[in-house]
Chains A and B, each alone.
Chain A
Amino acid sequence: MTLLAGERTSVLASVEEALAGIEDGARVGIGGAVTASHPMALVRALAASGVRGLTVVAPTGGLDVELLIAAGCVETLIAAYAGMEGLAGVAPVYRRAVEEGAVRVKDYDEAHCIAGLRAAAQKLPFLPCRSGVGTSYTEINPDLTAFADPVAGQQLIAVPALELDVALIFAETADEFGNAQTTSAGHMDQLLGAAAKRVVVQVDRVVANDEIRKDPLRTWYWKETRVVRAPFGTHPYSSATMVADVDHLKEAIGAGREGGEALDAYMRRYVHGAPDHDSYLEEIGIRRIASLQI
């Protein structure tokens, strides 16, 4: 009978436990799709942690990238986009930091991001991509190399493996064993996880394993995973059950454009001054949070 005594290990963690071990200079992937499904509770905590010199892989980022840059965490950004769609054509903190030379940006097309993450997931040095042939990508991003393919001699671009130390990802639900299920914009989140040594998945709800089993086709799981419960944690971005908070995004963009004391005040109020996710939600207020629910 002792042979059957194994208990499955819970991977539930607090934000602090899950982010512990992200060291200066780490390569951190951040999931999400423009204004949807970014693990913002994890991002705010990472920004407040004081970590430095990160290489951030945020394929289609915005406020996540802004907060990490404003907190001084970022050395290099690997991205296809940094903006807030109609509200800000270019993310303002990112724009200023890149123009001032404080942050280095390496331009990747979305398809380059996918190729690089897949290469890392497949333990390959690179994968070929046609996207960007004839453009300035290889000129402005030394990581991308033009080459003639050995099969048909076509001109292609080699996208190097985007290996990550950790991927921060959002899903609506997970069980305590790291089985995550999303019902919103997944974008390249699953691949980010596959390219990373370990994954931290932020969820709105922790559900029973039996709940996960009702729809196994939707389950994502990775090797080394921590699950962090943070209800409404994509705020001010959207999840499957919450729309994006346009007013808050405008406040953040305004502070970002102004910079200086205005940006410091925003960061103090919502990032450094909120000791945990619940405090952040209190700062936003229940009426605002409730108004965003679909």
Chain B
Amino acid sequence: MAAAPTLGELFAVLLARDFRPEDRSLQVGANLPMARAAAVMASITSRPDLRVILGMGVNNLSGGRPAPPVHPFLFDPRSMVGEAVMVQERVFDDAERPDVFFVGGLQLDRRGNLNLFGIPDGEGGWKLRGPGGIALATMSTNCSGYYIVMPRHDARIFVEKVALITALGDRAERARLGLPGGGPRFVLSPLGVFDFDDSGEMRIRSLHEGVSLDQVQEATGFPLTSDGTPPVTEPPSDEELTLLRERVDLERTLA
């Protein structure tokens, strides 16, 4: 039996399972090794037609082609390998490419909105300043779907309402404004998997093994809903973990 998965390995497997047949390209941003692993895992198994954009390199890994090595930075010059190179200046000129993106943030709210700007002080300045929105507004506007990956889960991060919106997740608002993309698919946290109901409210899709309803509610700044008693997140199988460890995450960045 394979050793129990780390959080990063669990995230990678849950993401890899969720990609859809119509997804043509996955773009992995900075500092998301679990998303990278998920993209590689899917592309060497069930999704041979995927284009996976890792760093600046556009790759397809069908036919047993090995994944390019992991580098510490997204724009590492050694990542310029593959069948094409992503040119940042032109990457937004084809708004429907890529299909799928992965995001994180300082704050996430009940409606799925993300904040990467920071917390304003109410007087035109900043109580806490974040790194900036990078291309989150663009990607979240256009991608057919995106995954919200939150490495921590507490009531200061999962809030009723974000102080500022960098990426609009709110389903009702997106529809009202006619945003072309599909919005957030689901949220991963150390406690569970969350999605959004028809009215756009965050709900529990599953809780990770050993996590109680009280525990997740305690760590969340707004009431979470669920359809009945939420199921336990289906843990990675031995086959999935073996594949991940022996074929994908060779550098063990998720360990």
CB closest chain-A residue, reference B163 = A136
Contact sample, A vs B, 22 pairs, CB 8 Å cutoff: A34-B73, A35-B73, A35-B76, A81-B131, A81-B134, A82-B131, A89-B130, A111-B92, A111-B135, A130-B95, A131-B138, A134-B165, A134-B174, A135-B167, A188-B89, A189-B89, A190-B89, A191-B89, A238-B77, A240-B80, A242-B77, A244-B72
The residue in B127, B129, B180 that gathers the most chain A C-beta atoms within 10 A of its C-beta is B129
Do B88 and A107 touch (CB < 8 A)?
no
- Classify chain B: how many residues form its interface, as a range: 35 or more
**Per-residue contact bits, chain A 107-119, to B (CB 8 Å; 1 contact, 0 not):** 1011100100000
**Per-residue contact bits, chain B 139-173, to A (CB 8 Å; 1 contact, 0 not):** 00110000000000000000000001111101001
Q: Check B64 for interface membership: any CB of A closer than 8 A.
A: no
Do A246 and B72 touch (CB < 8 A)?
yes
Q: Check B216 for interface membership: any CB of A closer than 8 A.
A: no
* B12 → chain A closest CB, angstroms: 17
Given contacts A79-B132, A80-B134, contact A187 B173 (CB under 8 A): no
Q: Check A83 for interface membership: any CB of B closer than 8 A.
A: yes
Q: Check B229 for interface membership: any CB of A closer than 8 A.
A: no
Complex Cα spacing A86 to B75, Å: 12
Chain B interface main SS type: loop
Given contacts A85-B31, A109-B133, A110-B88, contact A134 B73 (CB under 8 A): no
Do A98 and B129 touch (CB < 8 A)?
yes
Q: Check B120 for interface membership: any CB of A closer than 8 A.
A: yes
Q: Check A122 for interface membership: any CB of B closer than 8 A.
A: no
Complex Cα spacing A94 to B129, Å: 9
**Per-residue contact bits, chain A 99-111, to B (CB 8 Å; 1 contact, 0 not):** 1010001010111
Q: Check A259 for interface membership: any CB of B closer than 8 A.
A: no
Q: Check A60 for interface membership: any CB of B closer than 8 A.
A: yes
Q: Check B1 for interface membership: any CB of A closer than 8 A.
A: no
Our pick among A80, A109, A243, A246 for the contact of B78 (Cβ within 8 Å) is A243
CB closest chain-B residue, reference A187 = B88
**Per-residue contact bits, chain B 71-94, to A (CB 8 Å; 1 contact, 0 not):** 111111110100000011100100
Q: Check B30 for interface membership: any CB of A closer than 8 A.
A: yes
Given contacts A36-B77, A133-B141, A136-B164, contact A83 B92 (CB under 8 A): no
Residues from chain A with Cβ under 8 Å of B136 in the complex: 109
Complex Cα spacing A223 to B73, Å: 33
Complex Cα spacing A110 to B138, Å: 8
The residue in A91, A107, A294 that gathers the most chain B C-beta atoms within 10 A of its C-beta is A107
Q: Check A53 for interface membership: any CB of B closer than 8 A.
A: no
Complex Cα spacing A194 to B87, Å: 17
Complex Cα spacing A239 to B77, Å: 7
Residues from chain A with Cβ under 8 Å of B95 in the complex: 130
Do A33 and B75 touch (CB < 8 A)?
yes
Do A135 and B166 touch (CB < 8 A)?
yes
Complex Cα spacing A133 to B125, Å: 23
Our pick among A99, A137, A185, A294 for the contact of B88 (Cβ within 8 Å) is A185
The residue in B132, B135, B165 that gathers the most chain A C-beta atoms within 10 A of its C-beta is B132
- Besides A33-B75, A191-B89, A294-B77, 5 new A-B residue pairs in contact (Cβ under 8 A), listed by A number: A34-B75, A90-B129, A109-B136, A190-B89, A240-B77
* A60 → chain B closest CB, angstroms: 7
- Classify chain A: how many residues form its interface, as a range: 35 or more
A residues with a Cβ closer than 8 A to B are 33-37, 60, 79-83, 85-86, 89-91, 94-95, 98-99, 101, 105, 107, 109-111, 114, 130-137, 139-140, 154-155, 184-191, 238-244, 246, 294
Do A139 and B137 touch (CB < 8 A)?
no
Complex Cα spacing A111 to B174, Å: 19
Residues from chain B with Cβ under 8 Å of A98 in the complex: 126, 129
Do A136 and B73 touch (CB < 8 A)?
no
Residues from chain B with Cβ under 8 Å of A111 in the complex: 92, 135, 137-138
Our pick among B78, B166, B168, B178 for the contact of A294 (Cβ within 8 Å) is B78
Given contacts A33-B88, A86-B72, A186-B89, contact A110 B134 (CB under 8 A): yes
Q: Check B179 for interface membership: any CB of A closer than 8 A.
A: yes
Residues from chain B with Cβ under 8 Å of A134 in the complex: 165, 168, 170, 173-174, 177, 179
Residues from chain B with Cβ under 8 Å of A91 in the complex: 131
* B239 → chain A closest CB, angstroms: 30
Q: Check B3 for interface membership: any CB of A closer than 8 A.
A: no
Do B174 and A140 touch (CB < 8 A)?
no
Given contacts A110-B88, A111-B137, A191-B89, contact A244 B130 (CB under 8 A): no
**Per-residue contact bits, chain B 2-31, to A (CB 8 Å; 1 contact, 0 not):** 000000000000000000000000000011
